Structure 1
Amino acid sequence: MKQSSSVTLQLLSLASLAATTQAELGKIHWKGPCNLTNETDMSGSAPLICGTLDVPLDYTDSGSNQTLTLDLAKWPATKKSTADPILMNFGGPGVSSFEGLGLYGEEFQAITGGHHDLIAFNSRGVGNTIPFSCYNDATSKQLVASLAPADGTASDTARGEIWAQSANLAQACYAQNNQTGSLIGTSFAARDTMQVLDALQGKDALLNYWGFSYGTTVGAVIAAMFPERMGRVALDGVDNPTEYFNGHNPEAVMDADKIVQGFCLGCVAAPDLCPLAKVYRNATELGSAIWNMLETLKFNPIPIPSQNGAVTYSDVRATIYEALYLPSSWPVTSEFIGAVLTRNVTVLGNPRVYPLLKSYGTSASLTSSSSEISTGITCSDRALSASMKDVLPYIKTRASLTKIAGDGSNTEMRCAQWNKKMYAKERYTGDFDVKTAHPALILSNRFDPTTPLAAAKNLSATFEGSVLLEQNGYGHTTLSMPSLCTAKAIRAYFTNGTLPAAGTICQPDVPLFTNLTYKDVWPKNFQRTVESAEDAKILKALMSVREKKSRGKFQ
């Protein structure tokens, strides 16, 4: 099949890299300050330094001299007596590490103590590093996204429609990426990480690593492949690595509905911030109203004449599920739910609100490039062809575990029809019964909508000597709710390797529904003891992360 011009240019770029001399391999070229966009650099003064590193293009081909250029970013240590660097992985798959480090580098330096350079690189498929896209333009993406429901629970015919559209998507992805799609998997990401470490500190260095969500999968694979080289490895929001590679992981959303219950409990406890609390007498009544609202929308979408469109079940379910990731978005989410319950077309048709909720409800989630990349990496890693009959049991199991998270049809059906020529060239096929050189720190919220506490417990049980720190909070990863207890444990771990006592449970320092900022919380309303000026700095950083994360959520 004739390749698009973008793919041709991509291949020419890769071919030109083959001329790189072996002397240049393993050498980082720091180029100076990054040119960040306003979206990435919210502070306006991020001291992010950018560089490049050439690594092998294909680790499975020892006879090839073709290389790939990784784009790196560094947030330099803010204090003298610099310690070993920490490599950061912000998850995804498909998330820009530059955005993560650019947004939160200052806060992460405050949390870790400021003595470490924080390093991140864009993984394969992201940015300029083997760009992965299935469509050439935004219009094509929008069209494809509108052709099938967001998940199989939308109607009796939804799963069939998704299966058909997933076949089209898989073919489009192959047409655009058939020469490079097998080079973007997690095992290669693990090897790239070690190449970065080698270039930073040498081939005997130990890895200090902080990974979130899918970044925990990358971290687990690195630990399994290179256990003798693990230094201080913190994994927050564990995505079950065994299920990621070998299964379908319906249990990933096992706690999602419990977070809806938490939303309802938090709402009735804060009526001034949650208008719904003035309508419903208790959390049980509010929860019933939300579930009934979703069922009603299946058969009675809300017409929005001003947009020539409608608000559907898929739109609302997906928007609420997205909000479960971050409790700081819950006050405005309660307003959104109120508008749906009252079928308020003025609010729902608002030019800022309507496109956002529609973006959450689109079938293939193709409106962002990171979603395409996520599909590419996930399906290439899974490498499992299947029929619709094969995947339906897993889809139905997930649907039986949750009403709010959907049934996962899109991911299951795309991967089932993924072209075998784009399966990852290297897939980790071993187990995760690992004894690392230094024990790992595993972290998890008690209620996480996509990486449940159970997955963290399972991984900690197989990582010999590791300790699980549980945070008694809601949302995705422990950073979703500020906890000085958790942050101080992370700092102690990266500073001197100290692990918290087994069974430690940290409490969040803000309620579920709050409009408090750092200035409000400190010092008058802070509920726990701040023991030092450093504690105050950590708290300020945690509140800043919370506030930055909440921007763009239904705003």
Structure 2
Amino acid sequence: MEGYDLKADATLPSVVVPPTARRKTRVMSIFSMLAYLLAGLYIIYSVQYKRTTRPAVERELHRAEPDFDWLSLTPSEDINWTPCFSEYKCARIILPLDYLSPPGVGPNVTIALQLLPAADKENYRGTILINPGGPGGAGTDLIKRRGKDIARISGGSYDVLGFDPRGTGASTPSAQCFDSQSQLDIWGIQAGAQLLNLTDGSVGMARARERVVGQMCEKALGGNGREDLNGTVEEWGAGRFMSTASVATDMLKITEKLGEEKLKYWGFSYGSVLGQYFAAMYPDKVGRLIIDGVYDAYNYRATLWNTNLVDTDAVWASFHNFCYEAGPEQCPLYESSPADVQDRVTAIINGLTADPRAIPFAPGGPLVLTKKTLHNFAFRAAYSPVINYPPLADILLAVEQDNQTALAAAAPKLGGGVQCKCEQSLPWLMDTEAFYAIACGDGDPITYSDEDYAEWFSHLSETSEFAAPIWGFEYLRCSEWRIRPKWRYMGPLAAEKTANPVLIVSPTYDTVCPLTDARAVHARYAGSGLLVQNSYGHCSLAAPSLCTAKHIRAYYENGTIPEEGTVCEVDELPFIGQVGGEKIAAMSVEDRELLESLRAMAEEVPTFGHF
């Protein structure tokens, strides 16, 4: 069947499904179904960090929360902490815009920091810096929501610090190219209903849109070509100084300003690239450095974006396998075999090609649900299957049954409800074009040709039929980006020796950062450890695993690297729920609390790329 006739054979993790999981009864009243649907939808979208994955209504809910005024903090060359968000400390530090210029020459940037102090003062071990991915994710935002969970996983003896990399969040200057959030939102709804395909004109439309963004950003962030001694950031061009090399150096400076000798770090998704850069550039400054959900930085730096989808179809196939394994009580799309579940899902999604769903009475205004929207929704759900697959199944069922009540409830999360707002959003809550400045700037420049793109996209489709119509935008975005960074790190993305070993963590089947990439990086950083988690989804966060969490804690507390070949099983599966019921019942209080933190972190799985 068109676009979704996948035959990937994905092996389920080797866990025993407790009989009680199969006997659970689904409450089918309309009120409970809607409550479940809305809760699931909220979970799917509350974890996204970038414009195209956080619909307008979700952004408005986020902005409506009481917020700290970052601009009330006076930037300083030292870290001057101010109480914020009840139990946290916040600061803005001044760092050089251009590390290649002599000290004191040229303008500066300010970096926003948010810190959760360590609970265990007696065994204090320093500060762990967190990068939530992207590129473009704001570390302060993640720490505000999940700092306590990260602290529990790491053992409680570290301060946990989220920082907003250049161009993102509350750091300044921001990589904002549109005049307002409303202008950007309206631009987003003009994208059309076509998935990328080489034969229907969708590539030309996508290129034209990326050309618009590229030219707007060149005007806003590209500078005027002069680097006068007393010139402004605007004159120098902020977009020329947001490279990963600069951010890695920012992390070194933050570590020094904290009074610590070596970096402690946990980076997810794109954060794995940032971690590779740091360990290569400053190997003698590696303290405890974890990269989780790993993209090979060589592929990233070459602007290839073509190894990411090696296991994506296996992750998507697990939807059908887990649905079948869970049974009809747990999965509303259950059929007599995984292949039959797949055929049913394929028919639902492909059916929207000829028969898009009209949703006339959605809360935020009428909406037409297209195949492109549902396809994107399914792809994003595959980042965190444990959290996202059950509500995705309910949405697919609502489409199949044309359940207008459920579809109307889901509409705000499916692109509806965009409103024009006259008032300006707080700067740190606005979406940015940081992905372009960071990822496209880090990468080799692309000169677009129809032939080159057709070859690249064809190979991508062979790798993942499911994800290629979405992932194909990455090449197009960077092909229309013209701002080049002053500083690109072009040395080896490897280290013969680091001051302390790096820990690499990877699922067996990662949606966009495959285990093969993690193994390649492992081979390049001498002495590093590789911990494999037998799970599906992006980063280890996607599936709660006490085994993984305890290895991470042992690494942070003692520097312990897992033995080569270590594989951790998980404690929860999509649709099925908890596994090993007797083991869970016998857990200590500490393990139960740790498992709760892991479940909370499963709601924070980052996207990767500009989605």
TM over 0.5: yes
1:264-285 per-residue CA deviation (whole Å, 9 max, x = no partner) reads: 11112222221111xx221111
- Which residue of structure 2 lines up, in the alignment, with residue 176 of structure 1? 220
Secondary structure at the residue paired with 2:498?
Answer: coil
- Which residue of structure 2 lines up, in the alignment, with residue 339 of structure 1? 398
- Which residue of structure 1 lines up, in the alignment, with residue 316 of structure 2? 260
1:445-474 per-residue CA deviation (whole Å, 9 max, x = no partner) reads: 111111111111111111111111110111
| CA separation of 1:530 and 1:75: change in aligned 2, threshold 3 A | farther
Out of 396, 410, 414, the position equivalent to 1:357 is: 414
Deviates most, 152-161 or 372-381: 152-161
- Which residue of structure 2 lines up, in the alignment, with residue 428 of structure 1? 489
- Which residue of structure 2 lines up, in the alignment, with residue 111 of structure 1? 153
Deviates most, 459-468 or 335-344: 335-344
| CA separation of 1:526 and 1:151: change in aligned 2, threshold 3 A | farther
**Aligned letter for 2:249?**
R
Out of 29, 34, 41, the position equivalent to 2:80 is: 29
Deviates most, 153-162 or 492-501: 153-162
Q: What is the count of residue pairs matched by the alignment? A: 497
Q: Which has the higher contact order (CA 8 A, sep 6+)?
A: 2
**Aligned letter for 1:135?**
F
User: 1: distance between equivalents of 2:126 and 2:592?
Assistant: 25
**Alpha-carbon shift at residue 72 of structure 1 (Å):** 0.9
User: 2: distance between equivalents of 1:155 and 1:342?
Assistant: 31
User: 1: distance between equivalents of 2:524 and 2:437?
Assistant: 28
Please list, as runs of the form range in 1=range in 2, the aligned pairs for 1:342-421 lying within 5 A after superposition: 342-348=401-407, 350=408, 352-358=409-415, 369-370=430-431, 372-389=433-450, 390-407=452-469, 408-419=471-482
- Which residue of structure 1 lines up, in the alignment, with residue 94 of structure 2? 54
How large is the RMSD of aligned CA atoms in angstroms? 2.6
**Aligned letter for 2:396?**
I
**Aligned letter for 1:137?**
S
Query: Percent identity between the aligned chains?
Result: 30
| CA separation of 1:298 and 1:402: change in aligned 2, threshold 3 A | farther
Q: List gaps (5 residues or longer) in structure 1.
A: 1-18, 36-44, 362-367, 551-555
- Which residue of structure 2 lines up, in the alignment, with residue 304 of structure 1? 359
Q: List gaps (5 residues or longer) in structure 2.
A: 1-73, 223-236, 419-428, 607-611
**Alpha-carbon shift at residue 533 of structure 1 (Å):** 4.4
- Which residue of structure 1 lines up, in the alignment, with residue 187 of structure 2? 144
User: 1: distance between equivalents of 2:461 and 2:200?
Assistant: 13
Deviating above 6 A after TM superposition, structure 1's stretches of 4 or more consecutive aligned residues are none
| Structure 1 position 481 matched with structure 2 position 543 | yes
- Which residue of structure 2 lines up, in the alignment, with residue 459 of structure 1? 521
**Alpha-carbon shift at residue 170 of structure 1 (Å):** 0.9
Say whether the 8 Å CA contact 2:322–2:574 is kept in structure 1: yes
User: 2: distance between equivalents of 1:288 and 1:239?
Assistant: 32
- Which residue of structure 2 lines up, in the alignment, with residue 9 of structure 1? none
| CA separation of 1:321 and 1:381: change in aligned 2, threshold 3 A | same
Secondary structure at the residue paired with 1:61?
Answer: coil
**Alpha-carbon shift at residue 440 of structure 1 (Å):** 0.9
| CA separation of 1:97 and 1:509: change in aligned 2, threshold 3 A | same
User: 2: distance between equivalents of 1:487 and 1:132?
Assistant: 35
Deviates most, 150-159 or 238-247: 150-159
| CA separation of 1:529 and 1:431: change in aligned 2, threshold 3 A | farther
Say whether the 8 Å CA contact 1:447–1:453 is kept in structure 2: yes
1:168-219 per-residue CA deviation (whole Å, 9 max, x = no partner) reads: 12111212222211111111110100000011125xx121111111111111
TM-score (norm 1): 0.84
**Alpha-carbon shift at residue 406 of structure 1 (Å):** 3.3
- Which residue of structure 2 lines up, in the alignment, with residue 294 of structure 1? 349
- Which residue of structure 2 lines up, in the alignment, with residue 97 of structure 1? 139
**Alpha-carbon shift at residue 341 of structure 1 (Å):** 2.8
Say whether the 8 Å CA contact 1:92–1:370 is kept in structure 2: no
Say whether the 8 Å CA contact 2:98–2:241 is kept in structure 1: yes
- Which residue of structure 1 lines up, in the alignment, with residue 575 of structure 2? 513
Say whether the 8 Å CA contact 2:91–2:113 is kept in structure 1: yes
Say whether the 8 Å CA contact 2:325–2:576 is kept in structure 1: no
User: 2: distance between equivalents of 1:526 and 1:425?
Assistant: 58
User: 2: distance between equivalents of 1:65 and 1:469?
Assistant: 43
Say whether the 8 Å CA contact 1:447–1:475 is kept in structure 2: yes
| CA separation of 1:530 and 1:184: change in aligned 2, threshold 3 A | farther
User: 2: distance between equivalents of 1:166 and 1:283?
Assistant: 39
Out of 107, 110, 126, the position equivalent to 1:69 is: 110
TM-score (norm 2): 0.76
| CA separation of 1:136 and 1:65: change in aligned 2, threshold 3 A | closer
**Alpha-carbon shift at residue 143 of structure 1 (Å):** 3.2
User: 2: distance between equivalents of 1:206 and 1:428?
Assistant: 20
User: 1: distance between equivalents of 2:250 and 2:433?
Assistant: 21
| Structure 1 position 246 matched with structure 2 position 289 | no
Say whether the 8 Å CA contact 2:305–2:475 is kept in structure 1: no
- Which residue of structure 2 lines up, in the alignment, with residue 3 of structure 1? none
| Structure 1 position 134 matched with structure 2 position 177 | yes
User: 2: distance between equivalents of 1:215 and 1:443?
Assistant: 12
**Aligned letter for 2:101?**
D
Secondary structure at the residue paired with 2:256?
Answer: helix
- Which residue of structure 1 lines up, in the alignment, with residue 12 of structure 2? none
User: 1: distance between equivalents of 2:299 and 2:442?
Assistant: 11
Out of 237, 240, 262, the position equivalent to 1:206 is: 262
Secondary structure at the residue paired with 1:276?
Answer: coil
Say whether the 8 Å CA contact 1:91–1:214 is kept in structure 2: yes
Please list, as runs of the form range in 1=range in 2, the aligned pairs for 1:152-191 lying within 5 A after superposition: 152-153=196-197, 156-178=200-222, 179-191=237-249
1:493-519 per-residue CA deviation (whole Å, 9 max, x = no partner) reads: 000101111100000011221566xxx
- Which residue of structure 2 lines up, in the alignment, with residue 80 of structure 1? 121
Out of 316, 319, 329, the position equivalent to 1:272 is: 329
Say whether the 8 Å CA contact 1:154–1:313 is kept in structure 2: no
Secondary structure at the residue paired with 1:71?
Answer: strand
| CA separation of 1:143 and 1:533: change in aligned 2, threshold 3 A | closer
User: 2: distance between equivalents of 1:443 and 1:65?
Assistant: 39
| CA separation of 1:526 and 1:77: change in aligned 2, threshold 3 A | farther
